[in-house]
Amino acid sequence: MYKSQVNLSKGGPVVAQSVTEAAVGDASRLAARGVTVGYGGRTVIDGLDVAIPPGVVTTIIGPNGCGKSTLLRTLSRLLKPARGTVVLDGEDIGRLRTRDVAKKLGLLPQAPVAPEGLTVADLVARGRHPHQSWLRQWSSDDAEVVERALAMTGVADLADRPVDSLSGGQRQRVWISMTLAQGTDLLLLDEPTTYLDLAHAVDVLDLVDDLHESGCTVVMVLHDLNLAVRYSDHLVVMRDGSILAQGHPHDVVTAELLYEAFGLRAQVIDDPVGDRPLIVPIGRTHVRPDTSR
Amino acid sequence: MTDVKPSLPPGVRLGRVSFFWRPWLVGVSLLLAAAAFLVFCVSIGVGDFPIGLPQVIRTLLGRGEQVDEFVIMDLRMPRALAGLVVGVALGVSGAITQSIARNPLASPDVLGITTGAGAVAVFLVTVSGGAAAAVADTVGLSAAALAGGLGTGLLVYFLAWRRGIDGFRLILIGISVSAVMEAVTTWLLVTADIRDVAQAQAWLVGSLDDRSWGEVQVALWGTLALLAVVAAVAFQFKPMHFGDEVAAGLGVRYAAVRAVLLLCAVLLAGMAVSAAGPVPFVALVAPQVAMRLARCPTPPMLASGLVGALLLIGSDLVARAVLPVSLPVGVVTAAIGGPFLVYLLVRANLR
């Protein structure tokens, strides 16, 4: 391919380049281009580029305060970048109507809270909001989609229960169900496993995997590295507001990278139950003397 | 069994209009409306010249005798209508502020609106001569109080603004500003002439005595206009019960919706205060009572307004007809509303 470019006439490479760019733009439905984001006077992300690959689970990881949630919030339009643009389906997300964004992109913020006593069915039904209007507040379409969302997330049996009476894991399933009821195939989840014990975290991530199987593109922020490695097809590793590495966990996760990103000494070994790498952290204590550091 | 149909509220379609059918909420609202109308009519009938309930209703429908019509429409209607309007305005205002702050404490009383209006009114009553007298003469006490409430409410809003509105911060700043306004009021009362103090005290308790048609009409039309705005925005407000970020994810321009509704809440409370003085507790208790009666997780707007009207007209009726001495309505709203809210909370604990 390189050779053919060389052989092209003078205008050739430019055309070829723009074709490649267009191809990338088509493939990725959501991308950030040179975004700079900050809170008040503090810049958290400076001139970052990222394209979310379609149809897979992308997880943003990185140490605390590296800007991973900020990046997710920028991609979802919760934060407006000071410079640069976020492109959703080829359009500048900042110029789209809020409602139109909500029809294409579902967002679950970190640790949302439902009013006390609200039932699961009512919460999930609210997910239809972007498709409704003052006059058309509830149609049979809405009912169908909500029933499907409830069934898919396995909370249909809980539909009558108040959300606050559920366990943390069930509650998170309900919130994901609401996001699904939005009817988008692009889901952004900000730390969906926060405050969950490991069993419930695995349960929620299995659900994320189900969503991916059904054709959704998922972008999430996770704290737990091994869960991130196990459940994602694309990792975006961040440090200090920029991207250190990205790619399939196989290619990205190495002891060197973990040290560079987190300052963590670790061994990367084969996962005994999965086909992905497994990170074994090495602390200062409780380590056998023969461990290679 | 994954049949979820019964748990989703059934939908109703009328042509292009469709909505959730919630029989309990509709039933409770209708009952409240009927009760409010009944108390409204009884309140009109009671007085030095008692008129029976059937006659009151006949007169309201325009088929009464001339004597009744004079007493009802000219003498008693302004008071009853003021009670209705003030009650609805306070109830809806409280429902909005409590929903926005996601906290039942956030009523217009706490957010400085009523205390601000009170401070301005007391200033105009007690400080005689000069600019104060000029203001009181030209715009009237009610309008000046409305401006005071509006100004204080906006001050609290902007002080609480920090990249958005946090309910807890809004309440803390509201309480602080209210405390300052109350201090100003107390200072004015302590230093003022004793005759002015009596007049100011009467205004501060909240009363429906001696309402004129003119005053009531301003409050009525103002409240109706504001309710229309609230009704128009209410649909966009629904997802905001889940917090700003979830609302944004669902396509709501939450900052704009919140600003419009909060302004409506401040103006509604201001209308109420200018018409009846700072009647305490209605805006706090009405949405909470409505929530529990209607079994809603969030304060229902319409039912809150109706509970507010019922509470205010009912309290006025009790103050005039049942008690041996005629008291201002504000004394009774606090005395009735407080225990009723406690009762609802205790009953919920016992379950």
Please write the tens of the pLDDT for every residue from B218-239: 889 999 999 999 999 999 999 9
Selected residue of A74, A134, A163, A178 to mutate for chain B interface (largest B Cβ count, 10 A): A134
Under a CB-based contact definition with an 8 Å cutoff, are residues B232 and A133 in contact?
no
Greatest alpha-carbon pair distance for chain B in Å reads 78
Pick the range with the lowest mean pLDDT from A8-12, A190-194, B113-117, B271-275: A8-12
Q: What is the DSSP string of A212-269?
A: HHTT-EEEEE-S-HHHHHHH-SEEEEEETTEEEEEE-HHHH--HHHHHHHH---EEEE
Q: Which residue has the tokens 């969503």?
A: A211
Which CATH code, of 1.10.3470.10, 3.40.47.10, 3.40.720.10, 3.40.50.720, is assigned to B22-350?
Answer: 1.10.3470.10
Residues of A numbered 36-95 whose beta carbons fall under 8 angstroms of chain B's beta carbons: which are they?
Answer: 39-40, 76-78
Angle value at C-alpha B335, between B81 and B277, nearest 5 degrees: 45
Reference A57, options A234, A274, A251, A203; nearest CA is A234
Put simply, the answer to whether A136 touches B248 (Cβ < 8 Å) is no
pLDDT class of B129 with cuts at 50, 70, 90: low
3-state helix, strand, coil in chain B (%, to 5): 75, 5, 20
Q: Please give the DSSP secondary-structure letter assigned to residue A207.
A: H
Q: Average pLDDT per run of 10 along chain A, which is 293 residues long?
A: 36 37 60 91 91 95 93 94 94 93 94 91 93 86 90 92 93 95 94 92 94 94 95 95 94 95 93 92 86 65
Dihedral sign, CA of B301, B305, B310, B312? positive
pLDDT class of B194 with cuts at 50, 70, 90: confident
Q: pLDDT value at position B55?
A: 86
d(CA B4, CA A172): 19
- Whether B24 contacts chain A with CB within 8 A: no
Query: Considering the entire predicted model, what is its pTM?
Result: 0.87
Q: pLDDT value at position B300?
A: 95
Is the predicted pLDDT of residue B344 greater than 80, yes or no?
Answer: no
**Mean pLDDT throughout B158-172?**
82
pLDDT class of B304 with cuts at 50, 70, 90: very high
d(CA B190, CA B204): 14
Q: SS3 of A58, please?
A: strand
Is the predicted pLDDT of residue B75 greater than 60, yes or no?
Answer: yes
Query: In b/e form, how buried is each residue of B74-97, taking b as 16+ CB within 10 angstroms?
Result: eebbbbbbbbbbbbbbbbbbbbbb
Closest Cα in chain A, distance from residue B23 (Å): 15
Tell me the average pLDDT of chain B. Answer: 86
Q: pLDDT value at position B221?
A: 94
Query: In b/e form, how buried is each residue of B174-185, taking b as 16+ CB within 10 angstroms?
Result: beebbeebeebb
Put simply, the answer to whether B297 touches A150 (Cβ < 8 Å) is no
**Mean pLDDT throughout B291-296?**
91
Q: pLDDT value at position B136?
A: 63
Which 3-state string (H, E, C) describes B76-108?
Answer: HHHHHHHHHHHHHHHHHHHHHHHHHHCCCCCCC
Reference B314, options B91, B62, B5; nearest CA is B91
- B139: Cα separation from own chain's centroid: 23
Q: Which two tokens stand for residue B143?
A: 């309008």
